[in-house]
């Protein structure tokens, strides 16, 4: 898969840390596409490893097709540093606003996972029902764009003030649902954000199945969530998952 990772229209020399971040970004996109968290839409970014006031994100391309040559460097206000004619995702404000509000966040993944969307439009909260999903946190807030901006919108986060509103709803959590749109997942690394996004989707599927059996599922308690996630978010957990999922997505040299 290295040729698919490294293909680029005009080769650009990158510092080792940046080259590593670009590679991780490519693999993260492919993993999330492989799991169906991302389809033709959605996007993943990583904070620039040498400049926290910038971030890296692919040009506007289906996540399953992302290669190193697609990665654009951005200022936090969404201004491209090295666009070179490549098309841009319109919802860059999601990423910039969260990086501005949360210095601890190093990666952001916005997705339209079908399994998650129903929990953003109903009164049924998305909560962890099995230990692996503890990584998404004890509660997942819902951000409704109409609360601040009315119903005369396209539900997209394409302005700085809308991105700031989303970031406020996220607060200090790892995940926020977006009513009628999808969700946004954060992490201390690309690997962690991918890990959380995959298990959040699986939890949504399992929660729906449990509720179809009748009654209210027994969710993990806040204490169980704290204890389980503390273990699962240690480096070994995301690393083990990353290696397995990357191999399944075709990256046998990870």
pLDDT at 14: 77
**Tens digit of pLDDT for each residue in 74-118?**
999 999 999 999 999 999 999 999 999 999 999 999 999 999 999
pLDDT above 60 for 5: no
Asked if 114 and 153 count as a contact pair (C-beta separation under 8 A), the reply is no
Structural domain tally of the chain? 1
End-to-end Cα spacing for the chain: 10
Region of 155 on the Ramachandran plot (φ > 0 left; ψ -120 to 50 alpha; else beta)? left
pLDDT at 11: 44
pLDDT at 8: 42
Q: For the sheet containing 54-58, what is the strand order?
A: 71-75, 54-58, 43-47, 107-111, 182-187, 175-178, 142-143
Return d(Cα 250, Cα 241) in angstroms, integer. 14
Average pLDDT over residues 41-48: 98
| Choice between 253 and 20, residue whose per-residue pLDDT is larger | 20
Q: Which domain holds residue 97?
A: 2-248
pLDDT above 60 for 6: no
> Is residue 189 in some structural domain?
yes
Q: What percent of the chain has pLDDT over 90?
A: 92
Beta strands in the chain (DSSP E): 43-47, 54-58, 71-75, 107-111, 142-143, 175-178, 182-187
- Residue 253 — very low, low, confident or very high, per pLDDT cuts 50/70/90? confident
> Is residue 253 in some structural domain?
no
> Is residue 81 in some structural domain?
yes
> Is residue 117 in some structural domain?
yes
pLDDT at 119: 97
DSSP state of 253: T
Region of 85 on the Ramachandran plot (φ > 0 left; ψ -120 to 50 alpha; else beta)? left
pLDDT at 13: 58
Return d(Cα 178, Cα 226) in angstroms, integer. 24
**Tens digit of pLDDT for each residue in 154-195?**
999 999 999 999 999 999 999 999 999 999 999 999 999 999
Q: Nearest-CA neighbor of 41 among 7, 108, 89?
A: 89
pLDDT above 80 for 229: yes
Give one DSSP letter per residue of 233-245, joined into a string.
Answer: TSTHHHHHHHHHH
Average pLDDT over residues 222-241: 97
Residues acting as catalytic residues: 91
pLDDT above 80 for 129: yes
Handedness of CA 21, 200, 187, 170 (dihedral sign): positive
Average pLDDT over residues 69-73: 97
> Is residue 254 in some structural domain?
no
pLDDT at 37: 98
pLDDT at 7: 47
Residue 217 belongs to a domain with what CATH number?
3.40.225.10
Average pLDDT, the chain: 94
């Amino acid at each position: 898969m290295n040729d698919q990772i490294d293909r680029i229209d005009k080769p650009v020399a990158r510092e080792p840390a940046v080259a590593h971040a670009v590679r991780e970004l490519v693999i993260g996109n492919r993993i999330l596409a492989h799991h169906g968290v991302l389809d033709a839409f959605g996007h993943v970014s990583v904070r620039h490893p040498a400049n926290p006031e910038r971030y890296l994100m692919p040009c506007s391309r289906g996540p399953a097709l992302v290669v190193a040559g697609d990665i654009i460097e951005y200022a936090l206000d969404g201004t491209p540093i090295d666009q070179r004619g490549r098309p841009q995702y319109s919802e860059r404000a999601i990423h910039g606003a969260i990086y501005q509000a949360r210095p601890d966040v190093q990666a952001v993944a916005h997705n339209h996972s079908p399994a998650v969307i129903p929990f953003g439009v109903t009164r049924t909260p998305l909560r962890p029902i099995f230990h692996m999903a503890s990584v998404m946190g004890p509660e997942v807030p819902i951000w409704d764009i109409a609360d601040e901006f009315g119903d005369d919108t396209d539900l997209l986060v394409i302005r700085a003030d809308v991105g700031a509103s989303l970031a406020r709803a996220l607060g200090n959590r790892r995940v926020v649902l977006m009513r009628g749109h999808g969700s946004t997942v954060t992490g201390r690394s690309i690997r962690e954000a991918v890990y959380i996004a995959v298990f959040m989707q699986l939890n949504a599927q399992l929660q729906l199945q449990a509720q179809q059996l009748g009654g209210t599922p027994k969710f993990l308690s806040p204490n169980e969530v704290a204890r389980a996630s503390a273990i699962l978010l240690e480096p070994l957990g995301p690393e083990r998952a990353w290696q397995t999922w990357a191999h399944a997505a075709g990256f046998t040299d990870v």
